[in-house]
Structure 1
Amino acid sequence: MVAPRGQFDKGIAPLLWFIFIAIIFATLITINAIFIFKKKQDKKRVFAILTPLLSLFPFYQALRRLASLLSPVNSLYTEFPAIAIIFILIFLLYLICAIAFLINHLTLVDKENDVVKEEKLNLQKRWTIFLERFGRTDNPLYFYIITLFIIAILFFSSSLFKDSFTIPFGGDFTQQQLQFYINGYDDYWSFFKTGQFPLWDTNTFLGVNNIGSNAFYYALNPFFLPILLFPRSLVPQGISVLMITKFVLAALSMRAYLKYMGIKETTARLFALMYAFCGWNVYYLWFNHFMEVTVMFPFVFLGIEKVFKERQPFFLALSLAIMGLANYFFLVTTCMVGVLYAGFRYIQLFTKFPNNRVRIEVIGLGFLGFLFGILGAGLAFLPGLDVARNSDRVTNATYLDNLKSTFKLKDWKTLIAYLTKWETQNESFEYKKFYPLISFLFPTISDRSVTLLNRSSYDNTISSLFTFTPVTLLLIPSLIHSFKKRKASPFIALGIFLLAIFTPFAYNLFHGFTKEYGRWQLFPVFLLITYVASSYEERKEFKRWYFDVSFVVIALLMGITYLWAFNYQNKNTFTFLFQREYVAYYQFGVLFVVYLMFRYMYEKKAASPVLFAITTIEAVIMGILTLNFHGTISYQNHVFGGQTSFKQDEEVIRKIKALDGSYYRVYSTSARKGRDNLPMALDYNGVTTFHSLYNFELMDFNYWSKINYNYLGWSLGVHEKRPLLDQFLNIKYYVMRPNEANPTIGQEQNAVLRPNVPLTHILDEEMSTEQRLVFGNDNHFNTGFAVDNIMSYEQSDGEKIIDVVRNSGRTGIVKIEELYLQSAILSFDDFNEVKKNHPTFNEIDFKYYQMNAHQYSNGLSSEFGFSKTIYYCSREFPITKFNSNELASRSCTAFNVGSKQHVGIVFERNNGQPFLSNSGSIIFQYPLAAKANIYLLGTDGKIVTYDNHTSPSGSTTYKVLRGFSAPKAIKRIIIIPQETFKDYSTSYIFTYDETTQNQIIENTKRYPLENIKWKRNEVTFTTNFEDEKFIITTIPYDKGWHAGYVNKITNENSHIKVYKTHGGFVGFVAPKGNNQYSLVFVPEYLTSGLLASFGGFYFAIVGLVYLRYKKKKQQVKVAA
């Protein structure tokens, strides 16, 4: 639980403290500037660099103290954005020092190495060399680093300076990345404060394995950790700083690789810039955790080269391990392409190895490097893979199965077609083979689509091969140059890559045959830049006609591709190009300018600075284009629902937590589709998510109660307000805006008798705020309850096991939600096991269970039938005055489809009786995807309750049953569509009177859990049953949950088998007697992952230290 926001005393002391620290900090900056520019003694320069870094923490604390002085609710940085920008710029300035040191440590190929070999190096001497290198005037590294930072800031400038220094990409970035980072921020600070890392995360949907589900995004990512230096309210701004920094780090890592490959400093910096801002990196910006892939990718290949040239695998192992912790998904891809690269380079270098022993040794060392690198990532890789393998992206993948089946049938023609043709999988996929060509020739301008094929939906096949126009234009001259030098390897590599990027096999292979991802294309981008950079070093041997040929070929390709793309305008899910057409013209212009530069300047020394300038301009323009064509949303008005709304939600959540420290879930109308991850940002247990790796053990439950927005996928939410479902899910509090609870209808204010919240929930004025109303459930259970009934949701037909709940239609949804509160619901095997070992339990057969709800059907003439009448009116449908006179005055016509624009759909029972005779609930079939206001009218014709169920966007009818709770009889239901009218089917209406509903809920109170205590990864409670019971919890199932008990009387203790009940929740059989229980969560493969990571990092780091020691010893020996 998060403590409520503290109250601060406003006084002069915090202000004086801030002024004092600010003066010290300003003084240190001044001293630093004087020492660096004057280049005085080494110790003073060390002091000048280190002291401002050390002062960052007190300066940060001072800002926080001043923030508390000025406002107890709002952050200083929110109220005074200029201070935020100043702080961020200062942070960036001194981060440069640390980055420079890192790069100096990683690249040992400069002139200083020659000096080092001549004499013994003590600590002071090493610092002297570093400082001289850092401060020298001939192409200083720090100047390059500062330039990269400036380019990165300009790249994002169209967003940074209008959206409070944030980069609010529309889509996944603002719906996932921001919330995930805040959730991780809370987890780590909780760990620092309590010493317990949250292995189980209750904020991610209903609960997840924190390592397994969130390692892909941030949980163990070293590049995530600097976000902890920022105040919580500045996490979005902190992400911007990290994204800018990762651009810089990507350039520096590529520079290190290129220099190791023998590329000169100036050339290495130029092409490192192109790599850092390449189209691939830009295309995945809205998945900002992919940026660390571009940082680590060159280091992996630098490690491979070190195996060949230095016979040491340790740098490779360390690079792979960090890559795996940062993004274990891409570790798989990196290892695959890394092995291919290593094999290709091994063949190239084969004759250069001195003997066969070395040749064999290199293979062994390379194997060790990959092995220990993968082991080093084990802490993220093993738990993450265990969760990911249950994703429908994996379970529904068919490509590999198709290859296997055609191979077994020896259908070679079809097999080759699957390997080489996109259309084999789907005839409409013909356009996919053109994605690489478009992305190679034209810049990235969206993170959803390629430049010449405009679509709003995301296609995983798309990536980007754009490496800037100079590289594009240099490719053909480089190939001609290689041909003249009789180098075959570039042409072999080119042939392999052309086959791979235009056919589907590589897209499946490099991502484990899960989905056709284009993400592997970073590999050809990396090699293309490396190859062109090495050829650029020899450009003086080029002829001018090389560039003439290149320009003609590239221009023709661009023209043909541009004309071809018109075939798909407004077809195959693509729309018209609109303004994208001008991007094509712009790229033609850039091609011509670069061609002229090469035509007349390629031999001159000024070529590199000019190319650097051109690339900088291209990069900044590409950034501005991407932010505009992809689209951003307003940080102030829309991110988290808008900052004003977010603060109001934050205030009420803090208040709820301050007054109730127990375990429960909260339903908030602010957490709607598009804002599904709001619970992660506000640190509460919610019932919505948009998360690719949520707890897949819940898939059966999700299907039974239609929790997903669509049949499959990873966007889910409980919005329907069906009382028994909400009761089971432990939704103790409903949070809604006052205008949602008491809307104005027509001219009538407070027209609703009672908001649509379950009758068990009562307005809690103490928890409510001026902007949010809180309704609390006093008739709830905490964490779980016990029953003496068991049921199997599967049955055997003699040949296979069938899920009877899935096949039971709309009625099955209502029936199973009754049973959630009455019985354990087990798989066929688990049911039989429990039945055999515990024969005292009562058995329930789902097929023959008679639900307590009254069911009404459309079209029946009996007393259980109802009618549906559609009215089309010349003006607003009369909701509050629904009578024959009012209908006539508004020219309302029934069953005259399409004649009028204002629609009202009216449902009434055929016999004229109410649907509900007294207070109770109604479950009504009308899809959530249909935006509509629904009103329930009483016998007096007045509105009793109303809801639109957050009006989620969507196009499917998967979520079909809406819930309503009414304090009195309901006679009529009226739907007013809020979009283009579509006549959705409404076949069933179910009702519960309040007495019956409460009787079902009372089942959870018969055998309660007592003395419940929640810790981070453990739950304890007691029971005192006369007979054994089956305990059902609302904790989602995971193999990492372990249960045990101790009998308080006999001190007998034992482990208990944990079952998956209710299609995805933890359950177990509890013995009779007075027992103390403990549920402990330890992620599956956590221990083995820890051991693997320890082994991998130990191998890598100890190996590097040993090599350093050995090298130093040799230097001393030479110096002597």
Structure 2
Amino acid sequence: MKLMKKYWDLPAVAASILLVAVFIFARLFTSDFYFISKLGDTKEQYIHFFNLFYDLVHSGGFPFWSWSYGMGGSFWNDFGYYMLGDFFVWPLLLFPKNWFPTLFLPMNILKLIVMGLGIYLLLKEFGVRKRFAFLGAMVYPFAGFNIEHFYTHYFFLNAAAIFPFILLGYERLLKEKSSAVFVISIFLGSISNFYFMFMMSLGLLLYAFFRFFAQEVQPVSLKNFINFHSQVLLRYFIGFGIAMVFFLPSVFSFLSSNSYARSGPPIEGIMGLEEVPSFIMLKGGLHYIGLLLFPLLLINGKKMRVYGWLGLTLWIIMQIPRLTSVFGGFSNPEELRGFFIFNSIWTMLAILALDRIDIRKPKNIVVLIVSLLFICNANYPDLGKKMTALIPLTCLCFFLYGHVQKKWLKSVFFAGLAISLIGYSFLGGKQFVNEVLNVSYKTTPRAEKLARGVWQRLPLLGKEEYQQLYNNSKVNKTIAELKKQDPSFHRIWLDAAISMKNSAMSYGYHGFSVYHSLVPWKQQEFEMDLLAISGFRGLSLIRGFNNNLYLSTLMANKYLVAESKNGENAELFGYQPIFHKNGYSVYRNDNFVPLGFVYDRSIAYSQFLKIPVPYRDRLLFEYAVVPDSETGSSSKPSFASLGLKQIGKLKEVTYSKGIKVLQTDQGIILESKEPFEIRIPLAQHQAGELSVFVDFLPYTPNGGITMTASNGEAEVKFEKNMCNNKYRNVQYSYKTTVNQVLYRFGREEQDTKMITLTIYPGKFLIKNMGVYLDSLASYEKIVDDHQTKGLKTTEITNNRVKGTVSAKNGGTLFLSIPYSSGWKAFVDGKEVETFPVHHAFTGLKVGSGVHEIELRFTPPGFVAGLVVSGISLVIWAFLACRRRKRARVCSAETFYK
């Protein structure tokens, strides 16, 4: 009853936010679209991630390892960044999986309500009157940043919802109240997203530094500052520690991901003074009230001045892009990833000024007018006359509210103040929704670049399109048919025309491709640098080996599913059509190799790096590439035994007209202002696998190049550090990749006469170039050997593999499972060491004879995290009990006195 009386106003605040949100999003509820962008990460990633999460949870096991994540990976480690600790997503696991896109909009509104309640409670704890705290609750959640990021990056808003509660917890610690709000908020922030927890920690540090010297509860001195914040730090680490079971595995994933290879654009310069308001109000969608009123705090006494300096510090950070980048987790400052810090604190300071500043004083009137003129003088294209007119209306209502004495007049002018503030939030959100829907309803939807917002206006995903992409009945039937016919472990390649990069997560098959921001680095390095596979040379994407016969075989690919085209056969050797249904053709690999097999021969990784790129994937078929420490009696391969024949050479090439050609000792330098061609004539050859290798050095901005190879029938594209035919780096560029590329055309059935390379304009050194043909003379014989020594699986589930393997002479058991220290291997019941094979996959030593093999998976960092979480909970419980005991003693002493 006491609790209800204390928080009776919260339902009214929540209902008000809900009402405004429903009016803003009204058109979306009745449209044929979901609140999900048709372009970008939500479509490409998050829906697939949820579908995988849902299936893992509903399978009854722990969501640790998943075979539908690329070639297999740890959901617990790699998806802590996105979804695992997202407590806003957890309730959706209770509904049918295909409700997810429908629930996307209600989840957004729920986050807005939580944001508003957080800032409301913070302002009340700060001592702000309820009516003004209510205004803060109606201003903060409806910032453009919060509305616009949801449909492109919905988990970005978790920090915006949690951060006010962290500040609320700090305020309660200042007043020596319970630490529960602070600890729980730190815990939720830490499990929700470790990346944004870093930003929240910076925001808390900034807030605490200024807040302590303005508060009046604790004695203000350097000694007390240190003593008090040591207690805050203890509570911070308790909340942080409780989250370790989620947080630590995520950190393990981050440290082994591609993030360390990223190289974004340089951050330079200082933003002009007048650029700041337009940047943060249009880009970040900050409500004007935050900038309009915080200057008043600078001239109203010592305590208020500290808050003014806090607001000014935020301004300076925004004015220096490098600092903005730091508060945004070292991201591109234009993305404003840490903007929730600025939005929440500026909103709080503005409401504090409304509540505490006496606007009747001449100096305050002057500052308000100057602030108004400065903000209105900034450039706000496309903001709308109605929205800009609300800024002077706010000043007028604030002025009149402070000058009148009668209560009914105060109520009138407060109502005007509320209308102007809430109206700005409403109009901004409504305008955004209208613009997005207008783009979406166009017959040829495209992104529209407007002055407002971090992202351009992206079209929304249609409901029918959602079914086609994530719940396609034809794909589901085809996959179900294959599982029914063949329940054994195998991988499937779905043609790009009928799948997305992460489709295996939604459809539950074992595939290859995966796309997200923390893809394991070793797997990407294996594709990009060790094998120089063609495609986009960028991070966050593993493409797989659909046109590479040897690797497709090694990685247990048994089926290829493609759109039916007159019964055409697959491009790879040994793939035979088995049925044509549902508009799709399914091909089976007659040379299928199981999940694991024993290699008799191995070579050291350092030795492998000396092997020319065109021979590498062929060599992997016969030799296990192992760490130098695991080689034992290493073999030295002979190129002649690999069966590759060079049928086209650099010295025989011809060039299109209009390019400069210069012969050097290093190779041939080519320069052109127009796209140009290199034609490589081929010697007469038999059927086999055709590949083209180019070793080059670009003398272009950022080392960029776009180069396409064609055999007259098909084209294969390679692109490095370019975007839309412009030489530029993006956030996920990889500048240090090798300047080598291997184009594979699959099975060569006809006598190709010429290979044509088309290169985008620029200056390049061609060091080496060659066309190779593999006759596949020994391919089937080696496949038979691998099948004989293959792992016969008796049980494969998420987190466990069991089977038997026979090795006449012993050797290296290769498993096409991406390497992770979380896999523990047992041979005949005894634990053995695992090690990387082929740089990115799993291997272990086996002796001669038949062996029982078992592998068990526990996410790296999970056990240690669980221990730390348990210890932290015990410490928190101990501190809570001690605090209650002290409170009882104090009460008793007071009673007896």
Between 278-287 and 638-647, the greater mean CA deviation after superposition: 638-647
User: CA separation in 2, counterparts of 1:1114 and 1:727?
Assistant: 74
SS at match of 1:1076: strand
SS at match of 2:383: helix
- Give the one of 804, 811, 823 matched to 1:1041: 823
> In the TM superposition, what whole-angstrom CA distance separates every residue of 1:719-742 from its partner, at most 9, and x where no partner exists?
651211211222222111124xx4
1:804 partner amino acid: L
Instruction: Report the counterpart of residue 598 of structure 2 in structure 1.
Output: 786
Distance 2:724 2:548 in 1: 20
Cα deviation for residue 271 of structure 1 reads 0.6
Q: Distance in 1 between matches of 2:31 and 2:74?
A: 38
Compute the displacement of 1:583 (Å).
3.0
Pairing 1:302–2:98 present? no
Q: Could you tell me whether the CA contact under 8 Å between 1:1030 and 1:1067 is conserved in 2? A: yes
The answer for the alignment partner of 2:101 in structure 1 is 236
What is the aligned partner in structure 2 of residue 804 from structure 1? 609
2:798 to 1004, 1016, 1019: 1016
Gaps of 5+ in 2: 404-409, 440-447, 449-455, 658-671, 696-704, 728-737
Q: Deviations over 1:1049-1083 (max 9, x none)?
A: xxxx4321111111210011112222111112112
SS state of the match for residue 167, structure 1?
strand
1:161 is aligned to 30
Counterpart-to-counterpart distance in 2, 1:372 and 1:212:
22
Letter in 1 for 2:854: S
**Retained in 1: the 8 A contact 2:159–2:340?**
no
Change (3 A) 1:1091 1:223: farther
Structure with the greater alpha carbon radius of gyration:
1
Matches of 1:975 and 1:640, distance apart in 2 = 39
Match of 1:609 among 414, 418, 429: 418
Tell me: CA distance 1:637–1:969, structure 2 relative to 1, closer, same or farther (3 Å): farther
Tell me whether 1:660 sits opposite 2:499 in the alignment. no
| Mean Cα deviation higher: 238-247 or 1100-1109 | 1100-1109
* 2: CA distance, partners of 1:153 / 1:551: 35
Distance 1:362 1:593 in 2: 43
CA drift at 1:958? 7.5
Counterpart check, 1:225 vs 2:17: no
Alignment partner of 2:193 out of 286, 306, 327: 327
Q: Write the letter of the residue equivalent to 2:120.
A: R
Shift of 1:949: 8.6
Question: CA offset at residue 141 of structure 1?
Answer: 4.1
Structure 2 residue 812 is matched with structure 1 residue 1030: yes
Q: Which residue of 2 aligns with 1:533?
A: 351
User: For 1:792-848, what per-residue CA distance to the aligned partner results, in whole angstroms no more than 9, with x for missing partners?
Assistant: 2325xxxxxxx835xx6xxx333111122111112xxx32x334xx43xx41258x6
Query: What is aligned with 2:745?
Result: 964
Residue matched to 1:623: 432
RMSD: 4.4
Secondary structure in 1 aligned to 2:581?
coil
Deviation at 1:159, TM superposition (A): 4.2
Matched with 1:502 is 319
2:501 to 676, 687, 703: 676
Task: Give the match's secondary structure for 1:611.
Answer: helix
Q: Which residue of 1 aligns with 2:233?
A: 367
Q: Give the equivalent residue in structure 2 for 1:717.
A: 543
1:180 Cα offset (Å):
1.4
Match of 1:470 in 2: 289
Q: Label 1:898 to 1:183 Cα distance change in 2 as closer, same or farther (>3 A).
A: same
Shift, 1:209, TM fit = 2.2
CA distance in 2 between partners of 1:440 and 1:1108 (Å): 49
Shift of 1:340: 3.8
Q: Check whether the contact 2:142–2:429 (CA below 8 A) recurs between aligned residues.
A: no
1:843 to 635, 638, 643: 635
Correspondence list, 1:746-761, <5 A: 754-761=568-575
**1:936-972: per-residue Cα shift (whole Å, max 9, x none)?**
4xxxxxxxxx577999997599795443344744344
8 Å CA contact retained: 1:671, 1:679: no
Aligned equivalents of 1:275 and 1:722: distance in 2? Answer: 53
Amino acid in structure 1 at the alignment position of 2:820: D
Structure (1/2) with the larger strand percentage: 2
Q: Match for 1:815 among 612, 615, 635?
A: 615
Match among 473, 489, 492 for residue 309 of structure 2: 492
Alignment partner of 2:643 out of 844, 849, 852: 852
SS of equivalent to 2:603: strand
* Alignment CA distance shift 1:493-1:947 (3 Å): closer
Residue 175 of structure 1 pairs with residue 41 of structure 2: no
Q: Aligned equivalents of 1:976 and 1:505: distance in 2?
A: 41
Q: Distance in 2 between the 1:669 and 1:547 partners?
A: 67
> Among the aligned pairs, what percent are the same residue?
17
The answer as to 2:334 corresponding to 1:520 is no
8 Å CA contact retained: 1:709, 1:716: no
Distance in 2 between residues matched to 1:267 and 1:372, nearest whole Å: 33
Q: Do the aligned partners of residues 671 and 966 (structure 1) sit closer, same or farther apart at CA in structure 2, a change above 3 Å counting?
A: closer
**2-side partners of 1:693 and 1:471: how far apart?**
35
Residues 663 and 364 of structure 1, relative CA distance in 2, 3 Å threshold: same
- CA deviation map 1:763-787 (0-9, x unaligned): 121xx42222111113111111111
Q: In 1, distance between residues paired with 2:817 and 2:624? A: 14
- Separation in 2, partners of 1:435, 1:1068: 63
3-state SS of the aligned residue for 1:764? strand
C-alpha separation in 2, matches of 1:1037 and 1:434: 51
1:962-1015 deviation digits (Å, cap 9, x = unpaired) = 4334474434468799x9999999943222224343345445235222234212
Cα 1:505/1:966, change in 2 over 3 Å = closer
Q: Which SS does the other structure have where 1:583 is aligned?
A: coil
Distance 1:260 1:1028 in 2: 70
Separation in structure 2 between the aligned mates of residue 436 and residue 312 of structure 1, nearest angstrom? 43
2:213 pairs with 1:347? yes
Aligned partners of 2:119 and 2:140 also within 8 Å: yes
State the one-letter code of the partner of 2:573. Answer: L
Secondary structure, aligned partner of 1:582: coil
Aligned residue among 848, 851, 862 for 1:1072? 848
Separation in 2, partners of 1:220, 1:786 = 39
- Shift of the 818–438 alpha-carbon distance from structure 1 to 2, 3 Å rule, reads farther
Aligned twin of 1:184: 53
Write the distance in 1 (CA, Å) between the matches of 2:525 and 2:154.
32
Does the C-alpha gap of structure 1 residues 349 and 266 become closer, same or farther in structure 2, counting only changes over 3 Å? Answer: closer
For 1:488, what is the secondary structure of its paired residue? helix
The 3 A distance-change label for structure 1 pair 229 and 158 is: same
Instruction: Supply the distance in 2 between the matched residues of 1:704 and 1:710 (Cα, whole angstroms).
Output: 15
Residue 970 of structure 1 aligns to a residue whose secondary structure is coil
CA separation of 1:1079 and 1:157: change in aligned 2, threshold 3 A: same
Cα 1:909/1:709, change in 2 over 3 Å: closer
Q: TM-score, normalised by structure 1?
A: 0.66
Matches within 5 A, 1:47-196: 116=2, 141-168=10-37, 170-190=39-59, 194=60, 196=61
Q: Offset at 1:142?
A: 3.1
Indicate whether 1:736 and 2:536 are aligned: no
Cα distance, 1:275–1:386 mapped onto 2, change above 3 Å:
same
- Within the candidate set 564, 572, 577, 1:763 is matched to 577
1:375-390 to 2 correspondences below 5 Å: 375-390=241-256
In structure 1, distance between residues paired with 2:126 and 2:609: 63
| 1:477 Cα deviation from its structure 2 partner | 3.7
Three-state SS of the structure 1 residue aligned to 2:501 is coil
Separation (CA, whole Å) in 2 of partners of 1:167 and 1:346: 42
The one of 517, 522, 525 aligned to 1:692: 517
**For the Cα contact (< 8 Å) 2:257–2:520, is it kept in 1?**
no
Q: Which runs of 5+ in 1 are unaligned?
A: 1-111, 117-125, 135-139, 399-424, 444-449, 451-463, 563-579, 743-749, 796-802, 871-896, 937-945, 1047-1052
Which residue identity is paired with 2:625? I
The whole-number CA distance in structure 2 between the counterparts of 1:1115 and 1:653 is: 68
Residues 164 and 734 (structure 1), Cα distance of their counterparts in 2 relative to 1, 3 Å cut:
same
Name the TM-score, length of structure 2 as normaliser.
Answer: 0.81
- Specify whether residues 557 and 392 from structure 1 end up closer, same or farther in structure 2 by C-alpha distance, changes over 3 A only: farther
Amino acid of the structure 2 residue aligned with 1:1095: I
Q: Which amino acid aligns with 1:988?
A: G
Q: Does the C-alpha gap of structure 1 residues 306 and 791 become closer, same or farther in structure 2, counting only changes over 3 Å?
A: same
- 1:714, CA displacement in angstroms? 0.7
Q: How does 1:269-280 map to 2 (within 5 A)?
A: 269-280=134-145
- Note the C-alpha offset of 1:369: 0.6
Query: 2:479 is paired with a residue of what secondary structure?
Result: helix
